[in-house]
A and B are shown apart, each in its own frame.
Chain A
């Protein structure tokens, strides 16, 4: 270690733009380490992605080679009611996985942090947080099966309980009727998703300076005013992250639909990812399935870019203030 000070001086002198963090070692040699990752990435992600986009312009049933048909699939897609229904259902998934969990998560995290953590003990707050988070750790198809079991039509837990408390008239084939199937799937997703914002927001709340709260309290701000003016504005970056990642997850929902309803009854719970899957492997309309998958990809990538731009803008405004 005695040689360190003079060495770092010479290292600083040596560092030119083409140098890596290692003194005297050129960047170019590091490309070697990127080769396995990039080759794998090209084969497994890039090539299939471009191939899938190509397939969206073809008629392809999986046996004879794809046949170029230009925009036919895309024109069909624009007029396909089932496709629009699937996107409407995605909006329902966004309500269940983003809107409800984020709002509820904000309130729960603030209550756990402010009230339970400070007045009833941090251990108890952590325990409640872990409980909320529990459904998040399950494979989502298994989570769906758990709730699906409770919602079984004949001798299901919910129907039996309703009957027992004298509300037998409310018994229902929850997943099997078009009017409640989507709602039932939404319940599954709220249950799965609720713990995610709570955990992230609670970690973010550590940053909130208690002095700010005390000052606001002295100024006569009530709990709700403090909550919106201080808490929400300080943890805004985390809110963006939760909204973005959960929205992407909501657009990708597949497992619960496959496990519970297969898109039915009718098309009442169909979502884009299940629609494309069924076109690929059940209808053997590979070209059209690829069109749906590509459309979904475009929506997700566009949303990601919009979110990131919005977040950067919000940060800039915040800094200018």
Chain B
């Protein structure tokens, strides 16, 4: 069959104009990142003389170093890392258990349980905030990273249950039937058959839960009041407008805040873009 315009793309003037337009939009999106990057390596005088768009006259790292020490950045990184990592693991485990009962066990009332989890996904955190604050104060976990870990394990697993139940519901029957007739118990089938086979989906969930928890703000802000417990976004936000922060140190603070997530994005880019589209059907 003859399809002339498939052979070689013919680029018209209009095509080039549209191309420039989409590139301009991309540049507009990227410019704030570049401005922050450039100005984080300037001294305040360099900034005052050269303005925000010039390249640094000499590489100045005092702003970054000052902020790094003032917030004790390694400590904040560790807090964020510990909270997000623990939540990711726990939330995947809880999601797997829930989804095993719903998707494969087909327990009675599963539709209602799923509706419950789905509604929970849309609730604003403010609707639980004060009672949670009160409860965790009562049990002595206020200002303790475990309060945040417990809350986000539940919040993330509400989404995980919803997604995994659908995945498990279409699990190849022959495989579990074969295992079951070989005498495997419910637990063994979960452990040795279902989890290994759905490992790709589980690792996508793990990465998502990690990054989502890393980016959370309201609950860590409310529950982690002392400096030593704060996460990266909360600690950086807390110092904005501080009298001791000069202009380029503030820029450096934004840079330190965006670097970790930028690294995650570069590592997991493929998984993330695939996952966003999978998540869009939630």
* B78 contacts partner chain A, Cβ-Cβ < 8 Å: no
Which residues on the A side are within 8 Å of B21 (C-beta)? 111
* B180 contacts partner chain A, Cβ-Cβ < 8 Å: yes
Q: Are B280 and A131 in contact (CB under 8 A)?
A: no
Q: Which of B57-65, B66-74, B146-154, B197-205 contacts A (4 or more CB under 8 A)?
A: B146-154
Partner of A40, one of B29, B154, B174, B177: B154
Which residues on the A side are within 8 Å of B94 (C-beta)? 36-37, 40
Q: Are A7 and B122 in contact (CB under 8 A)?
A: no
CB-CB nearest in chain B for A22: B180
Q: Are A108 and B25 in contact (CB under 8 A)?
A: yes
Q: With A23-B177, A45-B154, A161-B52 given, can you name 19 additional A-B contacts, CB distance below 8 Å?
A: A22-B105, A30-B101, A30-B106, A33-B100, A33-B190, A38-B113, A40-B150, A41-B120, A52-B131, A131-B29, A132-B26, A138-B215, A139-B217, A150-B32, A241-B280, A273-B218, A277-B218, A286-B130, A296-B124
Per the 8 Å Cβ criterion, residues 149-166 of B in contact with A are: 150-151, 153-155, 157-158, 161
CB-CB nearest in chain A for B151: A44
Q: Which residues of B contact A (CB under 8 A)?
A: 3, 9-11, 15, 18-19, 21-23, 25-26, 29-30, 32-33, 35-36, 39, 47-48, 51-53, 94-95, 97-98, 100-102, 104-108, 113, 116-117, 119-120, 122-133, 135, 150-151, 153-155, 157-158, 161, 171, 173-174, 176-178, 180-181, 186, 189-190, 211, 214-218, 221-222, 232-234, 236-237, 240, 247, 250-251, 253-254, 257-258, 261-262, 264-265, 269, 272-273, 276-277, 280-282
CB-CB nearest in chain A for B106: A20
Which residues on the A side are within 8 Å of B124 (C-beta)? 251-252, 273, 293, 296-297, 300
| Assembly CA distance A273 to B180 (angstroms) | 50
Q: Are B22 and A242 in contact (CB under 8 A)?
A: no
CB-CB nearest in chain B for A29: B186
CB-CB nearest in chain B for A12: B177
CB-CB nearest in chain A for B239: A145
A–B complex contacts, Cβ < 8 Å, 28 sampled: A8-B177, A22-B105, A25-B180, A30-B106, A31-B101, A34-B105, A37-B161, A45-B123, A48-B132, A55-B130, A118-B9, A119-B15, A128-B23, A131-B30, A134-B29, A134-B30, A134-B265, A139-B215, A139-B217, A141-B233, A150-B32, A155-B47, A155-B247, A195-B29, A204-B277, A214-B3, A296-B127, A300-B124
